[in-house]
Amino acid sequence: MQEIEVKFLNVDPEAIEAKLAAIGARKVGEYFYRRQVFDYPDWRLNADHSWLRLRDEGDQITLSFKKRLGVKADGGNDDGMEETEIIVSDFGKTAELFLRLGLVNKHYVENRRRRWQKDGVEFDLDFYPDLEPYLEIEAPSQELVEAAIGWLGLDPAEQKVFSTNQIYKLKGRSVADYTRITFEGWVKKDKK
């Protein structure tokens, strides 16, 4: 299933939340997420712009296959994202299962999120280690995403269609060089 979402980088969270409140959106929660990303030892998912993500969202644990669509060689916006997601019951046991099946840990990442909703649209203010906050807008249709951009008075030309890893790349950091990315620090991969 194609995921329809866009990001706006380097936002002022308080200003965005004031706009969300003004348009009648409601805040549904604040979350601390931890995610473990897996690949095959030959990194074939990575080569296909895909990944397997296990995410603890606090109130549920999701397992997702994600694939970037229409990846641009120049680092521009992707055409979109494919996502298949299910709910699992145990973060640790699911991670262990994938490792026993021969997959490897690509990396572990933490983030905080403030979620707002209005008329079927999710507005997520995301906070990642060493990144400026960004806004993610997700909706069931491109038309609704475009409407939500208008509700907030954002410039459509500023929207980004790419992953958080691509945001890190814009900042000169390759997530592939690390095994852990947390608010307490980054752990580099061992060079063998």
Per-residue pLDDT of the chain (192 residues; tens, 9 = 90+): 667 999 999 999 999 999 999 999 999 999 999 999 999 999 999 999 999 999 999 899 999 999 999 888 777 888 888 999 999 999 999 999 999 999 999 999 999 999 999 999 999 999 999 999 999 999 999 999 999 999 999 999 999 998 898 899 999 999 989 999 999 999 998 865
3-state secondary structure the chain: CEECEEEECCCCHHHHHHHHHHCCCEEEEEEEEEEEEEECCCCHHHHCCEEEEEEECCCCEEEEEEEEECCCCCCCCCCEEEEEEEEECCHHHHHHHHHHCCCEEEEEEEEEEEEEEECCEEEEEEECCCCCCEEEEECCCHHHHHHHHHHCCCCHHHCECCCHHHHHHHCCCCHHHEEEEECCEEEECCCC
Cβ contact 102:40 at 8 Å: yes
> Which domains does the chain show, CATH number per domain?
2-188 (2.40.320.10)
| Predicted model pTM | 0.89
Measured distance CA(100)–CA(127) in Å, rounded: 32
Torsion of CA 32, 16, 144, 34, to 10 degrees: -10
Cβ contact 32:115 at 8 Å: no
* pLDDT computed for residue 76 by the predictor: 80
Cβ contact 144:151 at 8 Å: no
